[in-house]
Amino acid sequence: MTDLMRAAVLYAAGDVRVQDYPEPALTPGMVLVRVQRAGMCGSDLHYFHDGCCGAFVPTRPFVLGHELSGVVAAVAADVDGLAVGTRVAVNPARACDRCAYCRAGRRNLCRRTVMLGSASTRPPTDGGFAHLVAVRADQCHRLGDLDHAVGAMIEPLAVALHAVRRAGMPVAARVLITGGGPIGLLIAMTARALGAVQVVVSDPSPGRRETALARGVDDVDDPSDPNLPDLGGELPDGGFDVAFEASGAPAALRQLFDLVRPGGTIVQVGTLSTGDVLLPASQVMAREITLLGSFRYGDVFDDAIALVRSGRVDVASLVSRVFPLEDAAQALAAAADPGTAIKVQLQIASDPDA
């Protein structure tokens, strides 16, 4: 008979229930992780508010959560080199390892990826707003002495790090980020840690602009400021070297084409809420602009941990509120409030290192 654990289960839009739920089974190649901290991401909010996340519609109730830090609790017999008790951040994406994309080192493009806490598979895959989660051994990345609040920030930092790496950011770059949410701020911090000499965040919310300044960005902008288009022209080469669109707003993406320099790069990281967007393709040609996308992350979890451990990036300062698992519904509501929240987390285990 299966043991039961507590878990936050999505039943429908607005209906998340913290309840008893079957513990996951331990199958070959896998480990069980006892979750300590779990962060809330935009896709968790989409599932909570809309009952789905874009095209991903769940076919049965499932456990949310994919920003996870915890302790290895059980290890399948065929797993080497990962001991019970190891403190780990979890990569929630399990790629197939065998397709052309996996073989070429672009695992985030693998079409057979199984993602924790997501309805991208049928049936949906249970996530980690729960006491235990089952993952393949190589999804576990050693935290060393980092605490679990930081450990649960490694997944969003991996999103930021992948985006910055995709950008092929030049040395001494001038960087603009549209969107001052957690991903935008993490991109700003990462860009600075990787040598950007000017990092500017643009966001319509005064509160988010204040937060960005307090977290060390060089300057902030209001995208509705009519003088904004002049900004690029004042830079040494006529605009920003690299811009990251992390807001999901089509108007933000459109605006970036006027703000990057000739030969500059725009990286789309945010999930756009609409379909096609009007973009100045003639500028793409005449100014040799590059627009490229960044989706999740490749194999950057160990790098993200190393950046934090070496003190190059301070992610702890972005954790703004923590709720117990039993209050998951309140936590989801709080996470949706852009005014007060940066990153909301659930504290799941009662004993912080159990």
Sites for a copy of itself among residues 71-110 (CB under 8 A): 97-98, 100-109
Q: Which is nearer to a copy of itself, 303 or 327 (CB)?
A: 303
Least distance from a copy of itself to the Cβ atom of residue 121, Å: 16
Q: Which is nearer to a copy of itself, 195 or 206 (CB)?
A: 195
Least distance from a copy of itself to the Cβ atom of residue 306, Å: 4
Residue 200 binds a copy of itself, judged by CB under 8 A: no
Q: List, in sequence order, every beta strand (DSSP E) within 23-172.
A: 30-39, 62-63, 67-75, 87-90, 93-94, 114-115, 132-136, 140-142
Give CA–CA dist 101/99, Å, rounded. 5
Beta strand 114-115 with 93-94: parallel, antiparallel or unpaired? Answer: antiparallel
Question: Stretches 203-211, 226-234, 295-303, 327-335: which one binds a copy of itself (CB under 8 A)?
Answer: 295-303
Q: Of the candidates 218, 219, 258, 327, which one interacts with a copy of itself according to CB under 8 A?
A: 218
Report the chain's terminal Cα–Cα distance, integer Å: 24
DSSP classification of residue 124: P
Cα 294 to its chain centre, rounded Å, is 11
Q: Of the candidates 85, 226, 236, 339, which one interacts with a copy of itself according to CB under 8 A?
A: 236
Q: Are 39 and 129 in contact (CB under 8 A)?
A: no
Binding mask 28-57 for a copy of itself (x = CB under 8 A): ------------------------------
Least distance from a copy of itself to the Cβ atom of residue 105, Å: 2
Question: Stretches 19-27, 38-46, 65-73, 291-299: which one binds a copy of itself (CB under 8 A)?
Answer: 291-299
Q: SS3 for 90?
A: strand
Closest of 8, 91, 6 to residue 48, by C-alpha = 8
Residue 281 binds a copy of itself, judged by CB under 8 A: yes
Give CA–CA dist 332/314, Å, rounded. 24
Q: Are 3 and 23 in contact (CB under 8 A)?
A: yes
Residue 275 binds a copy of itself, judged by CB under 8 A: yes
Binding mask 298-327 for a copy of itself (x = CB under 8 A): xxx-xxx-xx-xx-x---------------
Residue 11 binds a copy of itself, judged by CB under 8 A: no
Beta strand 343-347 with 62-63: parallel, antiparallel or unpaired? Answer: unpaired
Q: Which DSSP string corresponds to 12-57?
A: ETTEEEEEEEEPPP--TTEEEEEEEEEE--HHHHHHHHHSSBTTB-
* Residue 74: strand pairing partners: 32
Q: What are phi and psi of 41, to 5 degrees?
A: -115, 165
Q: Of the candidates 50, 288, 326, 337, which one interacts with a copy of itself according to CB under 8 A?
A: 288
Instruction: Residue 340: count other Cβ atoms within 10 Å of its Cβ.
Output: 12
Least distance from a copy of itself to the Cβ atom of residue 286, Å: 6
322: left (phi over 0), alpha (psi -120 to 50) or beta: beta
Instruction: Residue 38: count other Cβ atoms within 10 Å of its Cβ.
Output: 34
* Residue 31: strand pairing partners: 75, 135
Residue 194 binds a copy of itself, judged by CB under 8 A: yes
Q: Which is nearer to a copy of itself, 246 or 346 (CB)?
A: 246
Q: Of the candidates 123, 233, 293, 324, which one interacts with a copy of itself according to CB under 8 A?
A: 293
Residue 334 binds a copy of itself, judged by CB under 8 A: no
Least distance from a copy of itself to the Cβ atom of residue 39, Å: 21
Least distance from a copy of itself to the Cβ atom of residue 295, Å: 5
Q: Which is nearer to a copy of itself, 89 or 130 (CB)?
A: 89
Q: Of the candidates 132, 153, 177, 269, which one interacts with a copy of itself according to CB under 8 A?
A: 269
Q: How many CA atoms lie within 13 A of 32 on its CB side?
A: 14
Judged by CB under 8 A, the chain residues 129 through 168 that form the site for a copy of itself are 137-138, 161, 164-166
Residue 345 binds a copy of itself, judged by CB under 8 A: no
